[in-house]
Amino acid sequence: MSETVDSAKAPQKSGGAANEFIEIVKTVVYALLIALFLRVLFFQPFTIPSASMEPNLYEGDYIIVSKFSYGYSRHSVPFSPNIYTGRIMDKPAQRGDVVVFKLPSDGHTDYVKRVIGVGGDRVQMRNGLLYVNDKLVQRDPLSPVKTDLGFGQIVDVARFQERLESGKAYVTQDSGPDGQLDNTETFIVPAGFYFMMGDNRDNSSDSRVSPFEGGVGLVPAENLVGKAQIILLSWKPEASIFKPWTWVLGARPSRFFKLLK
């Protein structure tokens, strides 16, 4: 009798294990779908790969971008599938916003810059000074910051607080008034486009540089991914997932949970 009972229980154990595995798979799938839903509609993380937005964003900063700030386009979806054009629930970006967008020349590479010009604006750099609609943007000097140029070369770089007509203020970094991009033509921003600039004015390939020269050029509204809201975490560039000790030694806790301006 006991042998019969034992042989009857064996398939039940096998079936129980199979059911448990199926439940685990279902849980993982549901979790991934929820994460995808949140990523598409609400928030998406990005890592800053360069110094073009210093002194506000540093290489190694881990930022959170709100997807709902400007509505949704095909670029709100991973891999930017060509499923529709334009934007749904469109809300225009404002001058001074820090924005993540898809590079217009390829439609896939993520860039982060600050909105300087909107449709109808005239933007120009003259001797390192920014003019919007032929008016000089207010710029007040701040204390310089030491910057590592590599190979042990550390220099002082000037910082300024810029203030737009709207009252939006932010800090820029400038190596001098005679850089390659410190004197430009007057750019007229068409309706439905944005003029983007990096806060590190002498180290940013942005809308001042045409796509034919490897720059950003003007950015269509459709290419906006979202508004950068907060630096969640930050590590020095030399930190690596394969070097566990750098997770602590390379952390920059002073930048954790820092709201972006």
Active site residues: 52, 113
Any bridge partners for residue 157, and if so which? 145
Query: By three-state DSSP, how is residue 124 classified?
Result: strand
Provide CB contacts within 8 A for 124, sequence distance 6+. Answer: 130, 131, 134, 184, 185, 186, 187
d(CA 30, CA 40): 15
**Sequence-separated (6 or more) residues with CB below 8 Å from residue 45:** 62, 63, 64, 65, 232
User: Cα dist. 111→35, 118, 140, 177 in Å?
Assistant: 23, 17, 27, 25
| Distance separating alpha carbons of residues 195 and 216, to the nearest angstrom | 9
Is 32 exposed, middle or buried, given 0-12, 13-18 or 19+ CB atoms closer than 10 A?
A: exposed
